Amino acid sequence: MGEEALTPAAGTPRPKYRMPAEWEPHEATWIGWPHNRSDWPGKFAAIPWVYGEIVRKIAAGETVRILVQSKAHEAKALRLFARAAVDLSRIAFFRIPTDRGWTRDFGPIFVRRDRPKREVAVAGFRFNAWARYPDWRNDDRVSARAAAALGLRRIRPLVRNREVVLEGGAIEVNGRGTLIATEECLLDPVVQARNPGMSRGDLEAVFGSTLGATNVIWLGRGIAGDDTHGHVDDLCRFTGPKTVVLCREKDPKDDNHRALEANRERLASARLEDGSRLEVVPLPMPAPLRFDGIRLPASYANFYVCNAAVLVPTFNDPNDRAALGILSELFRDRPVVGIHAVDLVWGFGTLHCLTQQQPAIFSGKGSPALSPGSLPGRMASLYIPDSRRASPCPIPYRRSARS
């Protein structure tokens, strides 16, 4: 359907598009099949099996659209799925090359509008590897190529004729008009600055015009060990239109304690889009998890809400049970399932970082466009020509390398 440039305008009475909440009905979930061994040095062999379990759980309730590098890469995934009892009728492969597998951040951010007709579109934000790492050009093209493959409109937010860099893990929405982000991630003018020269007001205008966010709550810092420099999806998540969970660290000597308490104070005075107060539910942190002397961003807040379940990362920690219990009380409409994430978090991300939801075009239950059966065959595979593939990085490195 082509592209549409979208420049935020002051005083716009009603946002044209909105980003639905994660718990609203999905048409599909997008995930990139792992291939970059430098993301999990020494642990990569276990990672595809964790992905397989994630895909199996998601496929119980929706299509899983999987980004693969090639036909051979697709075949590897299929062999694993056959052993892991994955429902292949819910799998669709897209041969769109990526640099790594953190689909939440570079994948298509889907938005919806109801007028003049119901439509799902892709918000065309740019990706630059968290303003930190050198190989991102394939990842940066995924959003546009996915939109083209699905025949969806792609809207490009512009600020003073500049495109906007934004990762999906940097924002959290309730689908009603409130968005949560951190100042550390999006407003730091020096460290991992995504959009130098863009102000708080500029970004809030973009959030309003592109994501339907009329109300933005700014938190301070993210959690220790997060190489994205403060993603909100490791910290604070909506579990309903008026309820969030916020990570809490009771140990005053822990690096996370002070920052999390400061964020709790901010939320205590925050208001939702209708002027009401948030209900803030504390979510415990696991004990600090380290590998090779490096603090890892282990957090129960990195859960993913799919149609069939809420998938929660677990860490062989006594607080696993408490976190699962809290989230079970908050998500009573679907089961809450723990996914072992000790190996996964060595890549500096877990379940939410790997996934990106595609909302159903209808807000209620039904058979939205591009449902599993709308692609030919029992299992679908779509090849996207790679005429502009970037050269590989000439030296080995890993996402978690410290600069």
Structure tokens at 196: 């130098």
Q: Has 353 been annotated as catalytic?
A: yes
For residue 99, give the nearest of 376, 397, 322 by alpha carbon.
397
For residue 100, give the nearest of 63, 123, 65, 127 by alpha carbon.
127
* Cα–Cα distance, 132 to 194 (Å, whole number): 9
Other residues' Cβ atoms within 10 Å of the Cβ of residue 253: 6
Q: Are the C-beta atoms of residues 283 and 3 closer than 8 Å to each other?
A: no
Q: How many residues does the chain have?
A: 403
What torsion, rounded to 10 degrees, do the Cα atoms 187, 193, 196, 201 define?
Answer: -20
Q: Are the C-beta atoms of residues 396 and 38 closer than 8 Å to each other?
A: yes
* Cα–Cα distance, 159 to 81 (Å, whole number): 43
Structure tokens at 311: 């998938």
Q: Helix 47-59 and helix 71-84: axis angle, to 10°?
A: 70
Structure tokens at 350: 């877990």
| Catalytic-labelled residue, pool 185, 236, 306, 353 | 353
Q: Hey, which bits of 33-183 come out as E strands? A: 63-67, 91-95, 109-113, 119-123, 154-159, 162-163, 172-173, 178-182
For residue 223, give the nearest of 188, 184, 190 by alpha carbon.
184
Structure tokens at 331: 């998500």
The residues assigned a catalytic role are: 353
